[in-house]
Every structure is written in C-alpha cells, then in structure tokens.
Structure 1
Amino acid sequence: MQALVNFFPLGNADTARLDLADGRKVLIDFAAMRCDDDEDDQRCDLPTTLRRDLDKAGRDYFDAVCITHTDTDHCKGFGDFFWLDHAALYQGKGRVKIRELWVPAAAILEENLKDDARLVRAEARYRLRQGKGIRVFSRPERLKAWMEAEGIDFESRKHLIVDAGKLVPGYTLTGPEKVEFFVHCPFGWRQDENTVVDRNEDSIVMQATFVEGGRKTRLLLASDVNYETLAAIVQVSRKHGNEDRLAWDLMKLPHHCSYKSLGPERGSNETVPDPDVKWLFEDQRQPGSDIISPSWPIPVKGSKADDDVQPPHRQAANYHRRITVAHDGEFIVTMEHPSKSDPKPFAYKITAFGFALALAAPMVAGTAAAASPRAG
C-alpha cells in the first residue's frame, strides 16, 4: 500500500497521522479542539475521525503517538481518548492504545503541569520506569539526574532515548514501512544551558523520509519552534554535513504561521526571514513543494485579527505564499475552507512520481488543489 500523510482542520492546533506502507499508523500530536456545543465550530471532531479510521483498519491502537510538546494545542483530550498504562482511571472500553509513546525529555522533566500535559508526563514517566513502550527525545544531563533521583537505571534505558542527529529505531527505508525519521531537535546541550524548561524550543522536530518506487518524498515536521531554534538546526546540520536532512517536499509550518518562526520582526507587509531560516525555506525546498499551515484562516489586512499578537500572521503568510509560487508549490491553510457540516481531514498520497493530494482537500489560496502527483 502507499503511504498517506493526513492533516486535520483544528484551528491553531496540530495533529497529523502518518499511514505507513506496511499498515502502521503514527500519530503526531493530538489536539481535540472542537467545541461540541458550538454548531458553527468548523474544526473537525478529532476523536470520532481517528476512531473511524482505526475501526476501518480493524485495530484499537496506534503504533506510535508523538507528543512534540505539552502545550494544550498539541495534547488536548489526551486523557479522554487514550488508554493510559499508569492509572486504571484511564483504561476501559473504547480507549485507544499506544504501542510506543514519543515525547521530548522536557515532557518528563517539567514540573507544575496541569490537565492533559500532566497526564502525558505521568504516562511517559511510568513507561520509562517500566523500560518499554516509550521513546524519549534527547538526553540532557538533567534527565540523567532525574532518573538517578527516581531510582531508574539510566544505562538500562539508554536504548529508549533518541538524540538529535539520529534516526528513530524501528523505521527504515528498506523495510516494509518504507520510511525513516531523522531527529533534529531537541538539543540536549541547550536544555542543560536553560534554567527552566522551554516547551516550544525543546520540542520534537524531525524529517520523515518516505520512499516509493525508488523516489524519496521528505516531510519536515517543525512543531512550534521559533526562528532561533530553526537557525540552530540549520547550523548544526551544516556543521555535520547533514544538509540533505533538511530537504523537504512537504512542510508542516511551525507555530501556526507565526512570524516568530521566520525572524525577529513581524514586518508591515511581509516578514523578512533570518538568513539561515531563509536557506531552509527557499534553498532546501524541492520543486513543486507544498507548505501546510495548521492554523485559522490568514487575516485580511486591516482587520481586527490582523492586529492580533497570536498567529497566524498575514506578514508570515505573505512570505510563504510568495516563495511557494516561485517554487511551483501550494500554500494550504487547514482552516481556510473546511465544510461546516462535515469538516474532514485531507491527505497527501506518497507515490513513485512524487506526492499528490488525496481525499477531500481544502481550497488552496490562489490556485486549484493538486490532483496529480508532483515530483519531489
């Protein structure tokens, strides 16, 4: 079977589901944001949509669930939807199981968490203690210190930790899954320099590379990092000769099309990117590449939303639209045109000729949605 990359209209929130060539399913973040009491809420019913897909596949689990960081817009509803091993209260009929939970080290180390973020931490800590069903991304010294204080043998858990610059075990281009995940962030050394945990900048950023018919298609999953972290990723990748690990055909924009993921200044009409970020967005994108903005619609100039400090930012979108047109690609906003009666996810199909939009796709600003494969 061919792999699919699925995105969901959830407002300013992230969830993506990767359906792999061998039938495995990997969920990147989980944010059940729809308000059922609001008839005009155009965000999709994420729990129902995901359960419907699992039922169709004849399963009650995801092979992996990656919570890139514990902000609400990346983990809301975690405790209502999933079967959690750490407490019987979160077990029972209808709950979806997680074979392997992926979290950044920050999700284990941060204190004073509440609600679903606290449950992500509790589940991750429990699985780390058990020594199974968990992948922790990066190994700052404070993680080792925390494990020692908890009586957890660090050496016997090292195989569960994935550092930046490494591949996630269990996924290869030559295996039946035909995908590999290269980790760019978080950086263990930077977490040691920070006095407090920085969720966004210590979140999981990775490149997923799919292969079909000998052709590679690369997806860059950028979580919510800002331009300084993206620039650091570029600099470290260049230093180690890993520029190819930043090539991309599909880009999940960081932080819901915020100017802060491009540069320090918002700008009046278009955000000017940091030089390293500019290289990432312009030189590393492949011909015909698409950008997906998991966000509310882009504000109109002069509107009330245009003055909002929260993303999406029109100036950032103007930059992304301009360079996307220059590279014969498309800029897709998840909340631009979802159906009010049945807001559905949309998917990219990975083919031997590139990628193609599949299923019901939202309209693309200024163009028609692609119907045929495009080379990456």
Structure 2
Amino acid sequence: MSAPHKIVCYPVGNGDTTQIILSNGRRILLDYCHRKKGEETESPEIDLKERLKQELKNAERDYFDIVAFTHADLDHIQGSTEFFDLQHAEKYQGEGRIRIRCLWVPAAMLLEEVERDEQSEEFCILRQEARHRLLEGKDILVFSKPDTLKDWLEPKLKERGEAANARDHLFIDAGTIVPGLSLASDGVEFFCHSPFIKHCDGTDIVRNSASLVFNVRFLIGEATYDYFHVGDTEWTDIEDIVKTTLYHKNDDRLAWDLYNIPHHCSYLALSDEKGDTETNPKPLVKHLLLQGKNDAYMVSSSKPIPDLEESYKETQPPHIQARKAYKRHLEEVEGRKLLVTMEEPNANKPEPLVFEIAGGGIIWRRSISIGSAAIVTSRPPRAGS
C-alpha cells in the first residue's frame, strides 16, 4: 500500500505555513512564518525553523521541491531570508540554508515598490530573488503577467539578447493547471484561481487581492479530494473567483474537503460587516462555503478564538463572529470539524495539524512529530464516502 499524501498546518500564531508532503516524497511549502519568540520554550508558537529542518533531515534532503509565497505580508514571509538559500547573492547562501528547487510567487511580488512596504528589508530581498530567477529563466513560476511586469521584463531581456517572449513559459494564468505536478505522476495538481491580471496591474497593488489562491486536487485510486488554499484574500476577491469559475464552468474547482480559512479568520473574508454575534457571508462567498463535501474540515491559521464576551469586540483577527459563520456552514454541509492551529491539542503548546489523504478520504491525525505514530482523532468515513 502506498504512503498517503499529507497536509501539515503549523501553529505560528496569526500567520501561515502549510506543507504538502506527497506520497512520492515531493514537498511543497506554502508560505513561511518563523517568529523568534517561537524559539523560546514557553512560547506557544512553534519553532518553525528547527521543526522544518528536522523534518527535512529525517527525509534526507536539504530542499523543498516548491516554495510558494502567497503574498508578501510579514506573516507569510517572516524569517524566510535567513532560512532559505537564495540564488541572487552569496550572502544568502551556505551551509544550513534550505534550497528552493522552484519558487512560486504572484506577479505583485516582483512589482511592488520597496518604499511602500513597512517590512521593506525582507520583502526587498525576496523581490530581488524572484526577479533574479525570472531573468535567469529557471527555478521559478510567476502567477499572472500584467502589462506593468512586461514593461519591466522585456527591456531587460532585450539587453540580454533574448526575445520578448523568452520567459512566457514561466508565467501562469488564473484558470489554468500549474505545470510541474500532475495527477498521473504525483497524485496532485494545482488549479490556479487567482491572481487575475487586474489584481497586479498598475501602481496601486493590494497584496491580499493579488495573492495566490489554489484548488489543490489529490488523486487516490480513482477518487479525488480537494484542498482549497486561500491565504489572505478578502470577500470581494473571493466573489470574483467564484463568479469567474462558474462562468468558465469549472464548478468542480470550488469543491473542498479541506478549507483554509482566509486571513486568520477575519470577517473581511466573508463580508464588509462583522455582525454583532455572527458574520453573514456575501452571496458568492456563501456559495463557496456550501461547496464543502460531507466529512470536510476547515482550518484557521490563527491565534485561539474563544467564545468570550470580550471576543466580540476584537478589531483584529481572528473574529469570533467569523468563526461562528464558518462553523455553521460547515455543519450545513455535514462537515466534521473546524480546527484552529493555535488551539490543538491545547492553546499552551499546540502541535501541527496533520491531515492524511488516503483511500478513506482526508483524515485529521494528531502526532507529536511528523512521521511518528499517529492517533486518529476523527470518526471513520461515513458509509459510501
């Protein structure tokens, strides 16, 4: 019997880091948020740097096959320029650094102006890395190709004596399947929902709107299971995604067995109004939530979300009103459980959430470390599932 695929969601506070470990051994990292306080034993946040290095060491590798940064906010890139081996400068290379075989970035990461960024140093380094790889023509995929990026790239290609379209194979459009992975060879494919060109063009780039959104489809035997990875996208962009997907008759790409709750359970991923006790999702956001399959899960990469009186007054995510909305819609599709990364197994010392994708579907398992004996913490699949 072949090994299952795994999706691992790490407890990094209000931040995102998810790893997909395929049954053939390939590893895909979605975002990276290492907080220094995670290195302290009393901190509830995980020491992400050491955890990932140990996992890679156990797998006898010093690289990820793919690292995707959904967007450039600090809670999605923090610590990355100290952790990864970067090709554009020797100072970011050397022993102990983790290599990236292929870097995935939204076009916005190559276009944003550094002076507009509050965390300019780390963002600037990653922007340099992405630009370097694109100019070298290898080890990168860029999602969307707005005119602004063409205007930057084509003169540089001309200086190198190359054609204006010499890098076209490195650009991925929304509404297409990402090359390099396939159901046939890897048991997985990534369908790109976003960004659209309109999210990345011009000078007024909004990171959350221009971020990566994927339907990740796994194949087990003859059955498929879907992971919807959203990042920090807000409700207006989700409605655009749903409307466009339905228009192109790709309805099946909205289905999900596991839903990555956007923006650390912010109500803004559901609506422009938080609501007093529960957020009421906008119509097309609601449509997406109701595409959950029986026995589906939701995961909020966020701090704990207690149902306390003071929680209803919180201005920053996570929002209890949003959690209630997600939970209600999960129950409506007969899903299993909404999980919060900083709550499991407890809020004092949370551990990564591990989902295995095998013949029985997507099953949540808890373990002290990836690869150790796991304990099934969800009920068995329903008959016929």
The question of a shared fold, defined as TM-score above 0.5 by the shorter chain, is answered with: yes
Shift of 1:256: 0.4
In structure 2, C-alpha distance between the alignment counterparts of 1:125 and 1:195, rounded to whole Å: 18
TM-score (norm 2): 0.91
Shift of 1:371: 5.3
Q: Given residue 133 of structure 1, which amino acid in structure 2 is its aligned partner?
A: D
Contact 2:38 2:45 in 1 (8 A): no
User: Partner of 1:297: helix, strand, or coil?
Assistant: coil
Contact 2:303 2:342 in 1 (8 A): yes
- Is residue 132 of structure 1 aligned with residue 138 of structure 2? yes
Pairing partner for 1:70 from 69, 72, 79: 72
Distance 1:269 1:343, change over 3 A: closer
Pairing partner for 1:352 from 340, 359, 366: 359
In structure 2, C-alpha distance between the alignment counterparts of 1:70 and 1:85, rounded to whole Å: 19
Partner deviation per Cα, 1:310-332 (whole Å, 9 max, x = no partner)? 10001000111122223232100
User: Partner of 1:156: helix, strand, or coil?
Assistant: coil
Distance 1:359 1:34, change over 3 A: farther
In structure 2, C-alpha distance between the alignment counterparts of 1:265 and 1:342, rounded to whole Å: 33
- Is residue 146 of structure 1 aligned with residue 146 of structure 2? no
Shift of 1:180: 0.3
The residue correspondences of 1:171-186 to structure 2 (distance < 5 A) are: 171-175=181-185, 177-186=186-195
Contact 2:365 2:377 in 1 (8 A): no
Contact 1:42 1:338 in 2 (8 A): no
- Is residue 260 of structure 1 aligned with residue 262 of structure 2? no
Q: Given residue 328 of structure 1, which amino acid in structure 2 is its aligned partner?
A: G
TM-score (norm 1): 0.93
Shift of 1:299: 3.8
Shift of 1:352: 1.3
Q: Given residue 137 of structure 1, which amino acid in structure 2 is its aligned partner?
A: F
Contact 1:358 1:371 in 2 (8 A): no
In structure 2, C-alpha distance between the alignment counterparts of 1:196 and 1:128, rounded to whole Å: 22
Shift of 1:214: 1.3
Contact 1:206 1:221 in 2 (8 A): yes
Pairing partner for 1:160 from 164, 167, 170: 170
The residue correspondences of 1:1-376 to structure 2 (distance < 5 A) are: 1-36=3-38, 38-112=40-114, 113=117, 114-151=120-157, 153-175=163-185, 177-192=186-201, 194-282=202-290, 284-303=291-310, 305-326=311-332, 327-338=334-345, 343-360=350-367, 369-370=377-378, 372-373=380-381
Contact 2:37 2:43 in 1 (8 A): yes
Partner deviation per Cα, 1:41-80 (whole Å, 9 max, x = no partner)? 1011101110111001100000000000000000000111
Shift of 1:190: 3.9
In structure 1, C-alpha distance between the alignment counterparts of 2:321 and 2:305, rounded to whole Å: 9
Q: Which runs of 5+ in 2 are unaligned?
A: 369-375
User: Partner of 1:14: helix, strand, or coil?
Assistant: coil
Distance 1:190 1:91, change over 3 A: closer
Count of matched residue pairs: 366
Contact 1:179 1:210 in 2 (8 A): yes
Contact 1:299 1:312 in 2 (8 A): no
